[in-house]
Structure 1
Amino acid sequence: MKMYLGSINDQLWDVTENDYAIIDLDNLTNHDKANKQCNTMSLNTINNAIDSKVFEQIKDCDRANEVWKRLEGTYEGSPAVKSAKLYIFKYKLTSFKMKKDESILEMFHRLQVIVNDLKALGGKIKDDDVSYRFLMCLPDTRDIPVEREGVDKDDKKEDEDNKKKSIEFKASSSFKNKGKLDS
Protein backbone atom coordinates (compact mmCIF):
# COMPACT_ATOMS: atom_id res chain seq x y z
CA MET A 1 0.00 0.00 0.00
CA LYS A 2 2.91 2.31 0.78
CA MET A 3 4.22 2.00 -2.76
CA TYR A 4 0.79 2.43 -4.30
CA LEU A 5 -0.08 5.54 -2.30
CA GLY A 6 3.38 6.96 -2.91
CA SER A 7 3.01 6.40 -6.63
CA ILE A 8 -0.15 8.49 -6.69
CA ASN A 9 1.37 11.33 -4.68
CA ASP A 10 4.38 11.41 -2.35
CA GLN A 11 2.41 13.23 0.31
CA LEU A 12 -0.37 10.59 0.41
CA TRP A 13 1.77 8.09 2.27
CA ASP A 14 3.13 10.77 4.60
CA VAL A 15 -0.39 11.77 5.62
CA THR A 16 -1.42 8.12 6.00
CA GLU A 17 1.57 7.11 8.10
CA ASN A 18 2.17 10.27 10.14
CA ASP A 19 -1.26 11.96 10.18
CA TYR A 20 -1.63 15.73 10.00
CA ALA A 21 -2.98 18.51 12.16
CA ILE A 22 -5.10 21.52 11.26
CA ILE A 23 -4.66 24.30 13.77
CA ASP A 24 -7.36 26.71 12.65
CA LEU A 25 -10.38 25.17 10.91
CA ASP A 26 -11.71 28.61 9.94
CA ASN A 27 -8.50 29.77 8.21
CA LEU A 28 -7.05 26.85 6.27
CA THR A 29 -3.62 27.39 4.76
CA ASN A 30 -2.62 25.90 1.41
CA HIS A 31 -0.65 23.27 3.33
CA ASP A 32 -3.72 22.36 5.40
CA LYS A 33 -5.85 22.09 2.26
CA ALA A 34 -3.26 19.84 0.59
CA ASN A 35 -3.08 17.58 3.67
CA LYS A 36 -6.88 17.38 3.86
CA GLN A 37 -7.07 16.45 0.16
CA CYS A 38 -4.32 13.84 0.59
CA ASN A 39 -6.20 12.37 3.55
CA THR A 40 -9.38 12.11 1.46
CA MET A 41 -7.52 10.56 -1.48
CA SER A 42 -5.77 8.08 0.80
CA LEU A 43 -9.03 7.09 2.51
CA ASN A 44 -10.66 6.57 -0.89
CA THR A 45 -7.74 4.46 -2.14
CA ILE A 46 -7.70 2.26 0.97
CA ASN A 47 -11.50 1.85 0.95
CA ASN A 48 -11.42 0.77 -2.70
CA ALA A 49 -8.62 -1.73 -2.02
CA ILE A 50 -10.22 -3.62 0.87
CA ASP A 51 -12.99 -6.19 1.16
CA SER A 52 -16.47 -5.13 2.29
CA LYS A 53 -16.06 -7.13 5.52
CA VAL A 54 -12.86 -5.24 6.34
CA PHE A 55 -14.57 -1.96 5.46
CA GLU A 56 -17.04 -2.59 8.28
CA GLN A 57 -14.13 -2.43 10.73
CA ILE A 58 -12.86 0.94 9.52
CA LYS A 59 -15.91 2.80 8.20
CA ASP A 60 -16.11 5.01 11.30
CA CYS A 61 -12.56 6.39 10.82
CA ASP A 62 -12.20 9.90 9.41
CA ARG A 63 -8.45 9.92 9.00
CA ALA A 64 -6.27 7.75 6.83
CA ASN A 65 -3.82 7.43 9.71
CA GLU A 66 -6.55 5.98 11.95
CA VAL A 67 -7.50 3.48 9.24
CA TRP A 68 -3.89 2.47 8.72
CA LYS A 69 -3.21 1.97 12.45
CA ARG A 70 -6.36 -0.14 12.81
CA LEU A 71 -5.48 -2.29 9.79
CA GLU A 72 -1.91 -2.71 11.09
CA GLY A 73 -3.20 -3.78 14.48
CA THR A 74 -5.69 -6.19 12.94
CA TYR A 75 -3.40 -7.86 10.42
CA GLU A 76 0.11 -7.47 11.81
CA GLY A 77 -0.71 -7.54 15.50
CA SER A 78 0.88 -5.86 18.46
CA PRO A 79 4.66 -5.52 18.82
CA ALA A 80 4.69 -8.71 20.89
CA VAL A 81 2.84 -10.60 18.16
CA LYS A 82 5.20 -9.20 15.51
CA SER A 83 8.17 -10.31 17.58
CA ALA A 84 6.77 -13.82 17.92
CA LYS A 85 6.06 -14.04 14.17
CA LEU A 86 9.58 -12.80 13.44
CA TYR A 87 11.02 -15.49 15.70
CA ILE A 88 8.96 -18.18 13.95
CA PHE A 89 10.05 -17.07 10.47
CA LYS A 90 13.71 -16.91 11.56
CA TYR A 91 13.38 -20.47 12.84
CA LYS A 92 11.77 -21.57 9.56
CA LEU A 93 14.67 -20.02 7.67
CA THR A 94 17.40 -21.60 9.79
CA SER A 95 15.78 -25.03 9.69
CA PHE A 96 14.85 -24.81 6.00
CA LYS A 97 15.40 -28.01 4.02
CA MET A 98 14.31 -29.35 0.70
CA LYS A 99 11.29 -31.64 0.99
CA LYS A 100 11.29 -35.07 -0.52
CA ASP A 101 9.69 -35.06 -4.00
CA GLU A 102 10.03 -31.25 -4.21
CA SER A 103 11.53 -29.62 -7.28
CA ILE A 104 14.26 -27.03 -6.96
CA LEU A 105 11.89 -24.38 -8.27
CA GLU A 106 9.27 -25.26 -5.64
CA MET A 107 11.93 -25.20 -2.93
CA PHE A 108 13.15 -21.78 -4.07
CA HIS A 109 9.58 -20.44 -4.07
CA ARG A 110 9.03 -21.72 -0.52
CA LEU A 111 12.28 -20.11 0.63
CA GLN A 112 11.37 -16.82 -1.05
CA VAL A 113 8.00 -16.74 0.75
CA ILE A 114 9.74 -17.15 4.11
CA VAL A 115 12.24 -14.40 3.28
CA ASN A 116 9.50 -12.02 2.10
CA ASP A 117 7.49 -12.64 5.27
CA LEU A 118 10.59 -11.94 7.37
CA LYS A 119 11.27 -8.70 5.53
CA ALA A 120 7.62 -7.62 5.78
CA LEU A 121 7.85 -7.92 9.57
CA GLY A 122 11.00 -5.80 9.61
CA GLY A 123 13.46 -8.66 9.85
CA LYS A 124 16.95 -7.96 8.56
CA ILE A 125 18.37 -10.65 6.32
CA LYS A 126 21.25 -10.48 3.88
CA ASP A 127 20.91 -11.77 0.34
CA ASP A 128 24.15 -13.70 0.87
CA ASP A 129 22.54 -15.60 3.76
CA VAL A 130 19.53 -16.50 1.62
CA SER A 131 21.78 -17.63 -1.23
CA TYR A 132 23.86 -19.73 1.17
CA ARG A 133 20.76 -21.35 2.68
CA PHE A 134 19.42 -22.13 -0.81
CA LEU A 135 22.69 -23.63 -2.01
CA MET A 136 23.09 -25.74 1.12
CA CYS A 137 19.64 -27.23 0.58
CA LEU A 138 20.27 -28.29 -3.00
CA PRO A 139 20.45 -32.04 -3.45
CA ASP A 140 23.61 -33.83 -4.48
CA THR A 141 23.75 -33.91 -8.29
CA ARG A 142 23.84 -37.70 -8.24
CA ASP A 143 20.40 -37.72 -6.63
CA ILE A 144 18.70 -35.60 -9.29
CA PRO A 145 16.93 -37.65 -11.96
CA VAL A 146 17.72 -36.30 -15.41
CA GLU A 147 14.68 -35.83 -17.61
CA ARG A 148 15.05 -35.11 -21.29
CA GLU A 149 12.31 -33.30 -23.14
CA GLY A 150 10.59 -35.17 -25.93
CA VAL A 151 11.87 -38.58 -24.85
CA ASP A 152 9.37 -41.08 -23.56
CA LYS A 153 10.07 -44.03 -21.28
CA ASP A 154 10.30 -46.57 -24.12
CA ASP A 155 13.08 -44.56 -25.76
CA LYS A 156 14.92 -44.42 -22.42
CA LYS A 157 14.77 -48.24 -22.13
CA GLU A 158 16.18 -48.57 -25.65
CA ASP A 159 19.01 -46.19 -24.79
CA GLU A 160 19.85 -48.25 -21.69
CA ASP A 161 19.75 -51.50 -23.69
CA ASN A 162 22.04 -49.99 -26.33
CA LYS A 163 24.50 -48.95 -23.66
CA LYS A 164 24.58 -52.53 -22.34
CA LYS A 165 25.22 -53.91 -25.84
CA SER A 166 28.21 -51.71 -26.58
CA ILE A 167 31.23 -53.32 -28.24
CA GLU A 168 34.77 -52.95 -26.99
CA PHE A 169 37.75 -52.93 -29.32
CA LYS A 170 41.28 -53.78 -28.34
CA ALA A 171 43.50 -50.76 -28.71
CA SER A 172 46.74 -51.24 -30.60
CA SER A 173 49.29 -49.06 -32.25
CA SER A 174 51.85 -49.69 -34.93
CA PHE A 175 54.69 -47.62 -36.19
CA LYS A 176 55.51 -47.49 -39.84
CA ASN A 177 59.05 -46.91 -40.69
CA LYS A 178 60.16 -48.02 -37.23
CA GLY A 179 63.74 -48.11 -38.35
CA LYS A 180 63.83 -44.40 -39.17
CA LEU A 181 62.95 -43.50 -35.61
CA ASP A 182 65.80 -45.57 -34.14
CA SER A 183 68.55 -43.98 -36.22
Structure 2
Amino acid sequence: MYKEQKKTNRILSEQTKFNEKIAKANFELQNKQNVELERQTFLLELEQKNREYQKYLRDFIFEMKKFAEEIGSGKYSEIPSYIAARIVKTRITSEGISSQSFEQIQDKEFYSQAIESLDKVLESASAKAITEGDLYFEKYQAFLKSIDRKEFAKDYFTNWGKNCFYTLQPDGDEFKKNQTFSLLAYSLHR
Protein backbone atom coordinates (compact mmCIF):
# COMPACT_ATOMS: atom_id res chain seq x y z
CA MET A 1 0.00 0.00 0.00
CA TYR A 2 2.85 2.35 0.79
CA LYS A 3 4.34 1.71 -2.68
CA GLU A 4 1.02 2.39 -4.35
CA GLN A 5 0.59 5.63 -2.42
CA LYS A 6 4.14 6.66 -3.28
CA LYS A 7 3.48 5.84 -6.94
CA THR A 8 0.21 7.81 -6.84
CA ASN A 9 1.95 10.79 -5.21
CA ARG A 10 4.66 10.72 -7.87
CA ILE A 11 2.05 10.60 -10.66
CA LEU A 12 0.12 13.44 -9.02
CA SER A 13 3.25 15.58 -8.61
CA GLU A 14 4.22 14.94 -12.24
CA GLN A 15 0.68 15.83 -13.29
CA THR A 16 0.85 19.02 -11.17
CA LYS A 17 4.20 20.01 -12.70
CA PHE A 18 2.81 19.33 -16.17
CA ASN A 19 -0.31 21.39 -15.42
CA GLU A 20 1.88 24.23 -14.07
CA LYS A 21 3.94 24.21 -17.29
CA ILE A 22 0.77 24.31 -19.40
CA ALA A 23 -0.70 27.10 -17.25
CA LYS A 24 2.54 29.08 -17.49
CA ALA A 25 2.67 28.60 -21.27
CA ASN A 26 -0.99 29.65 -21.57
CA PHE A 27 -0.35 32.69 -19.37
CA GLU A 28 2.66 33.74 -21.48
CA LEU A 29 0.66 33.20 -24.67
CA GLN A 30 -2.21 35.28 -23.31
CA ASN A 31 0.23 38.04 -22.29
CA LYS A 32 1.72 38.03 -25.79
CA GLN A 33 -1.76 38.17 -27.30
CA ASN A 34 -2.71 41.05 -24.98
CA VAL A 35 0.44 42.96 -25.92
CA GLU A 36 -0.27 42.37 -29.61
CA LEU A 37 -3.89 43.43 -29.16
CA GLU A 38 -2.81 46.62 -27.36
CA ARG A 39 -0.30 47.33 -30.13
CA GLN A 40 -2.94 46.84 -32.82
CA THR A 41 -5.42 49.01 -30.90
CA PHE A 42 -2.77 51.71 -30.56
CA LEU A 43 -2.01 51.53 -34.28
CA LEU A 44 -5.71 51.76 -35.16
CA GLU A 45 -6.16 54.77 -32.87
CA LEU A 46 -3.06 56.36 -34.37
CA GLU A 47 -4.40 55.74 -37.88
CA GLN A 48 -7.76 57.28 -36.93
CA LYS A 49 -6.05 60.36 -35.43
CA ASN A 50 -3.92 60.66 -38.57
CA ARG A 51 -7.03 60.53 -40.78
CA GLU A 52 -8.73 63.19 -38.67
CA TYR A 53 -5.58 65.33 -38.75
CA GLN A 54 -5.28 64.95 -42.53
CA LYS A 55 -8.94 65.94 -42.92
CA TYR A 56 -8.36 69.00 -40.72
CA LEU A 57 -5.24 69.88 -42.72
CA ARG A 58 -7.06 69.38 -46.03
CA ASP A 59 -9.93 71.65 -44.98
CA PHE A 60 -7.52 74.21 -43.52
CA ILE A 61 -5.25 74.43 -46.55
CA PHE A 62 -8.18 74.47 -48.97
CA GLU A 63 -9.64 77.49 -47.16
CA MET A 64 -6.20 79.14 -46.98
CA LYS A 65 -5.71 78.56 -50.72
CA LYS A 66 -9.08 80.18 -51.52
CA PHE A 67 -8.30 83.06 -49.18
CA ALA A 68 -4.78 83.51 -50.62
CA GLU A 69 -6.15 83.58 -54.17
CA GLU A 70 -8.74 86.17 -53.17
CA ILE A 71 -6.07 88.32 -51.51
CA GLY A 72 -3.87 88.09 -54.59
CA SER A 73 -6.72 88.75 -57.03
CA GLY A 74 -6.35 92.52 -56.78
CA LYS A 75 -9.82 93.12 -55.31
CA TYR A 76 -8.33 94.77 -52.27
CA SER A 77 -5.93 97.66 -51.89
CA GLU A 78 -2.27 97.01 -51.28
CA ILE A 79 -2.02 97.54 -47.52
CA PRO A 80 -4.96 95.30 -46.50
CA SER A 81 -3.75 92.66 -48.95
CA TYR A 82 -0.25 92.76 -47.45
CA ILE A 83 -1.60 92.57 -43.90
CA ALA A 84 -3.94 89.68 -44.71
CA ALA A 85 -1.21 87.78 -46.58
CA ARG A 86 1.20 88.20 -43.68
CA ILE A 87 -1.39 87.07 -41.13
CA VAL A 88 -2.37 84.02 -43.19
CA LYS A 89 1.24 83.02 -43.87
CA THR A 90 2.11 83.47 -40.20
CA ARG A 91 -0.85 81.30 -39.24
CA ILE A 92 0.22 78.56 -41.63
CA THR A 93 3.81 78.58 -40.34
CA SER A 94 2.75 78.86 -36.69
CA GLU A 95 0.64 75.72 -37.12
CA GLY A 96 3.83 73.96 -38.25
CA ILE A 97 2.34 73.10 -41.63
CA SER A 98 4.63 72.36 -44.56
CA SER A 99 4.26 70.42 -47.80
CA GLN A 100 5.51 67.31 -45.96
CA SER A 101 2.47 67.53 -43.67
CA PHE A 102 0.20 66.25 -46.43
CA GLU A 103 -0.22 62.71 -47.70
CA GLN A 104 -2.11 63.42 -50.91
CA ILE A 105 -0.51 65.12 -53.91
CA GLN A 106 -3.53 67.39 -54.44
CA ASP A 107 -3.20 68.72 -50.89
CA LYS A 108 0.51 69.37 -51.42
CA GLU A 109 -0.37 71.30 -54.59
CA PHE A 110 -2.99 73.36 -52.71
CA TYR A 111 -0.35 74.16 -50.10
CA SER A 112 2.17 75.21 -52.75
CA GLN A 113 -0.42 77.36 -54.56
CA ALA A 114 -1.47 79.06 -51.32
CA ILE A 115 2.13 79.84 -50.36
CA GLU A 116 2.92 81.09 -53.89
CA SER A 117 -0.11 83.42 -53.86
CA LEU A 118 0.83 84.77 -50.45
CA ASP A 119 4.48 85.20 -51.43
CA LYS A 120 3.46 87.15 -54.56
CA VAL A 121 1.42 89.56 -52.47
CA LEU A 122 4.20 89.94 -49.90
CA GLU A 123 6.92 90.43 -52.52
CA SER A 124 4.97 92.90 -54.64
CA ALA A 125 4.11 95.17 -51.69
CA SER A 126 5.52 98.68 -51.67
CA ALA A 127 7.70 100.02 -48.87
CA LYS A 128 4.77 102.06 -47.52
CA ALA A 129 2.51 98.99 -47.45
CA ILE A 130 5.20 96.99 -45.69
CA THR A 131 5.82 99.58 -42.96
CA GLU A 132 2.12 100.23 -42.32
CA GLY A 133 1.36 96.53 -42.55
CA ASP A 134 4.13 95.66 -40.11
CA LEU A 135 2.81 98.21 -37.61
CA TYR A 136 -0.67 96.76 -37.91
CA PHE A 137 0.72 93.22 -37.63
CA GLU A 138 2.53 94.12 -34.39
CA LYS A 139 -0.73 95.52 -32.99
CA TYR A 140 -2.50 92.36 -34.12
CA GLN A 141 0.09 90.16 -32.37
CA ALA A 142 -0.20 92.27 -29.18
CA PHE A 143 -3.99 91.93 -29.37
CA LEU A 144 -3.72 88.14 -29.66
CA LYS A 145 -1.37 88.05 -26.67
CA SER A 146 -3.77 90.17 -24.63
CA ILE A 147 -6.63 87.82 -25.50
CA ASP A 148 -4.46 84.89 -24.49
CA ARG A 149 -3.64 86.57 -21.17
CA LYS A 150 -7.29 87.43 -20.56
CA GLU A 151 -8.34 83.83 -21.22
CA PHE A 152 -5.60 82.61 -18.87
CA ALA A 153 -6.71 85.04 -16.16
CA LYS A 154 -10.37 84.20 -16.73
CA ASP A 155 -9.60 80.50 -16.33
CA TYR A 156 -7.47 81.20 -13.27
CA PHE A 157 -10.12 83.24 -11.47
CA THR A 158 -13.09 81.14 -12.61
CA ASN A 159 -11.48 78.00 -11.23
CA TRP A 160 -10.27 79.64 -8.02
CA GLY A 161 -11.04 76.50 -6.02
CA LYS A 162 -8.41 74.55 -7.91
CA ASN A 163 -6.10 77.52 -8.32
CA CYS A 164 -6.00 78.64 -4.70
CA PHE A 165 -2.81 76.62 -4.35
CA TYR A 166 -1.04 78.62 -7.06
CA THR A 167 0.16 82.18 -7.51
CA LEU A 168 0.60 83.99 -10.79
CA GLN A 169 4.18 85.12 -11.29
CA PRO A 170 5.19 87.34 -14.22
CA ASP A 171 7.59 85.67 -16.63
CA GLY A 172 8.39 88.12 -19.43
CA ASP A 173 5.15 88.76 -21.32
CA GLU A 174 3.50 85.69 -19.84
CA PHE A 175 2.43 84.53 -16.39
CA LYS A 176 3.52 81.28 -14.80
CA LYS A 177 1.62 79.36 -12.15
CA ASN A 178 3.86 78.77 -9.14
CA GLN A 179 2.90 76.54 -6.24
CA THR A 180 2.12 78.26 -2.96
CA PHE A 181 3.18 77.20 0.49
CA SER A 182 -0.40 76.11 1.21
CA LEU A 183 -0.14 73.42 -1.50
CA LEU A 184 3.05 72.12 0.05
CA ALA A 185 1.48 72.12 3.52
CA TYR A 186 -1.67 70.44 2.16
CA SER A 187 0.34 67.72 0.39
CA LEU A 188 2.46 67.06 3.50
CA HIS A 189 -0.63 66.92 5.71
CA ARG A 190 -2.27 64.21 3.58
- TM bin, normalised by shorter chain, reads under 0.3
State the TM-score, normalizing by the size of structure 1.
Answer: 0.23
Greater relative CO (CA pairs within 8 A, separation 6+): 2
State the TM-score, normalizing by the size of structure 2.
Answer: 0.22
